[in-house]
Chains A and B, each alone.
Chain A
Amino acid sequence: MAGISIEGVRKSFGGAAILHDISLDLAQGEFLSLVGPSGCGKTTLLRIIAGLEQADAGRVSIGGQDVTRLRPADRDVAMVFQNYALYPHLTVAQNMAVPLAMRRLSVLGRLPLLRHLSPGQAAARRGIMDDVRQAADMLAIGHLLDRRPGQLSGGQRQRVALGRAVVRHPAAFLMDEPLSNLDAELRARTRKEIVQLHRRAGVTTVYVTHDQVEAMTMSDRVALMQAGRILQIGKPRTMYDDPASLAVAQFLGSPRINTLPGTVDEGRVVVEGLRLPVHPAAADGTGVTVGLRPETLRLTPAGPLFAAVEHLESLGADSLLHTRCGATPLVARVPAAAADGLRPGEAVRFEADWPAALLFTAEGARLAHARAMAHV
């Protein structure tokens, strides 16, 4: 078991730069989620850590050992591929046995017919089957050991892929969107199982995902990537409450954070002609963006934000209220009862948790509040 350290990794494919100077440090046993929009280079980075792709520049070390020039087989990492990549001609048991057989059996012992000629292999073979059975029981796939991948459901295949990764106790797990093919319920359940697995085994894990719920609920830390760069790394809560830039704030959170472009006037922000009780640390006349999370908005008859209802989306306990404040779209997450009976076109007023408002410069960099507490 070991930490992972990536320093200054660059990669381009045929002239197109995909990764620009990526540096990342994982403590031993840490669970790091790598999130970012499609095509930002997550899989490429994962493949570079696994050794399936060579970086153009930079170093990768695992457990303090520089592995940049090592073959994947020598890096002692296990990868779970997005489409599982199970060997279709092998049974579940054989699939899970492959990594062990490759390490513990001789070339002769792996051949189906010659294995009886090689001494000492029978005991190794029994040991492998014991380990496979143990891992299978842990993942509740013990009853599937004799099936082929083609006879399994998506969720079962996913477990087998996990099983093939855990069975050999690698130094690190690399998982590339392992849950993306599962339905919502199975995804939630497997999410929990992966977390438990990680807790039990304590293996350093890099977990690539599109799904911010996965990233927020599973990880010790989240790294947000965009266009081949890491924008921010931090604890999930920190990334959400205290993003370093507008891009991070917009990526995390569903529905997306509301962004209201405005200008500073007499120390306050004016948006769509409305003077809001936020005081950015910026000079009068500069353009700023106010970020308001949908759940920080409340419907009140006296709020400073005027908006017109466009439509209502019911989520059950809560409703998403889509409105427009002048030309700026504004989404609020409000209790279902509060939004009951609102009609499109109706005028509403919002109050917000102003100290929690996120302020950004026009370029999208984070901006501090001038005063800790604002008053209306």
Chain B
Amino acid sequence: MSEAARLPAALEPRLQSRLPWRLHPEAMAGLLLAGPAVLALTLLLLLPTAALLVLSLTDMELGGPPLRWIGLANYAELLGDPGFRIALRNTLVYVAAVLPLSVALGLGLALLIEGGTRGRAFFRAVFFLPVVSLLVSMATAWEYLLHPTIGPLNRALAAFGIAPVNWLGSSDWVLTSLCMIGVWENLGYVVVLFLAGLTAIPPELRAAAETDGARRGWDRFWLVTWPMLGPTTLFVVTITAIRCLRVFDTVATLTQGGPNKASEVLLHEMYLEGFTYFRIGYSAAITVVFLVVVLGLVLLQTRVLERRVHYQ
């Protein structure tokens, strides 16, 4: 009698399934079905990212000498590059200003629209307009609006006796102006997301809060609305932070990072290095830094905060 023959019958299938070449048909089908997605993911996302990482370790220049392996030299250069440091600082300032402002204003507007009795669809559409319009073309409008001499903003200020401000041309003001445009650009997005989050709050909870004695809207906001909006807020903050980090088109069209690098941001710096000076390796290193920041944000969302806002 062989060893296997003495095993209880119930154990046999388990033994068999351990053999790698005897894949269960269902597992085979699963692999086959996942195949196209895995392939697409690899080709479109993983490979380019890996290529980017590899490039960032070389001194590749378009039209330059043959490519050399230089290890972390690009990153070392980044640390000492004042242009990169300014771009990083400006980007972080931009995020720190635009993110809280658009989230707070967006939440306020969403609450007002939700609380109103009519015109919801109208307001939703109006505030969503900047999101669907082409930012490059809207930039022209902003350029006119903020023009130092003929711009309506300065003329309006002049009516109150305030001296004209060179919104986009002075290094003191340019980042502030870009932040204002950034808030305008993100607000509609935030409003629409919060409106969706608000409609998902069970109306009974508000009714319960009212009977429990939450007289003021303020009380009901803290008791019901704000906690129930937790997942929405987390999503809005992450998405808006990433959108802010990605700020590029307003800079490229309105200021080109100037004057004197006062409005330089990460992506524009990367664009300059890569597509104006053709320093592909260096530009790749900037992109890697950018990716790391974004990934960090996403990880923070999924790992740390998600647990706090879902109440199961």
* Contacts from A to B (Cβ < 8 Å): 47, 50-52, 71-75, 77-79, 81, 83, 85-90, 98-99, 102-103, 107, 110-111, 148-151, 164
Contacts and interface: CB of A to CB of B under 8 A. Distances in A.
Contacts of A151: 312
A102 B207 contact: no
A162 B15 CA distance: 55
A78 B211 contact: yes
Contacts of A78: 211
A23 to B, nearest CB: 23
27 contacts: A51-B211, A52-B207, A71-B210, A71-B215, A72-B210, A72-B211, A73-B213, A73-B215, A74-B215, A77-B211, A79-B207, A81-B207, A83-B202, A85-B207, A87-B223, A87-B224, A87-B227, A88-B227, A88-B311, A99-B213, A107-B218, A107-B219, A111-B222, A148-B312, A149-B311, A151-B312, A164-B212
A164 B208 CA distance: 10
A81 B210 CA distance: 13
Given A87-B224, A89-B311, A98 B212 contact: yes
A87 B213 contact: no
B205 A87 contact: yes
A90 B212 CA distance: 14
Given A73-B215, A74-B215, A148-B311, A85 B210 contact: no
Interface in B187-237: 202, 204-205, 207-215, 218-219, 222-224, 227-228, 230
A82 B212 CA distance: 16
A149 B228 CA distance: 14
**Most-contacted residue by chain B among A50, A52, A73 (CB, 10 A):** A73
Interface string B290-312: 00000000000000000000011
B185 to A, nearest CB: 32
Contacts of A110: 219, 222
A85 B205 contact: yes
Interface of B: 202, 204-205, 207-215, 218-219, 222-224, 227-228, 230, 311-312
A89 B227 contact: yes
B218 to A, nearest CB: 8
Given A52-B207, A81-B208, A150 B311 contact: yes
Nearest to B205: A85
Contacts of B215: 71, 73-74, 102
A259 B227 CA distance: 55
A107 B219 CA distance: 8
Nearest to B204: A85
Could you say which of B202, B212, B215, B222 has the most chain A C-beta atoms within 10 Å of its C-beta? B212
Contacts of B223: 87, 98
Given A89-B230, A89-B311, A50 B204 contact: no
A100 to B, nearest CB: 9
B311 A73 contact: no
Contacts of A47: 207
Contacts of B224: 87
A98 B210 CA distance: 11
B211 A52 contact: yes
A99 B205 CA distance: 13
Contacts of A150: 311-312
A91 B207 CA distance: 19
A85 B213 contact: no
A47 B207 CA distance: 9
Contacts of A73: 210-215
Contacts of A102: 212-215, 219
Given A73-B215, A88-B311, A150-B311, A79 B208 contact: yes
Given A73-B210, A73-B211, A87-B223, A81 B204 contact: yes
A75 B39 CA distance: 64
Nearest to A86: B208
Nearest to B207: A52
A103 B215 CA distance: 10
Contacts of B228: 88-89
Contacts of A52: 207, 210-211
**Residue of A72, A99, A164 with most partner-chain B CB within 10 A:** A72
A102 B312 CA distance: 25
A111 to B, nearest CB: 8
A148 to B, nearest CB: 6
Nearest to A82: B204
B210 to A, nearest CB: 4
B230 A99 contact: no
Nearest to A78: B211
A88 B223 CA distance: 11
Q: Find the residue from B204, B205, B230 having the highest chain A CB count within 10 A.
A: B204
B213 A103 contact: yes
A75 B212 CA distance: 10
Given A52-B210, A85-B205, A89-B227, 15 more contacts: A47-B207, A50-B211, A72-B210, A73-B213, A78-B211, A81-B207, A83-B204, A85-B202, A86-B208, A87-B208, A89-B311, A102-B214, A107-B219, A148-B311, A149-B311
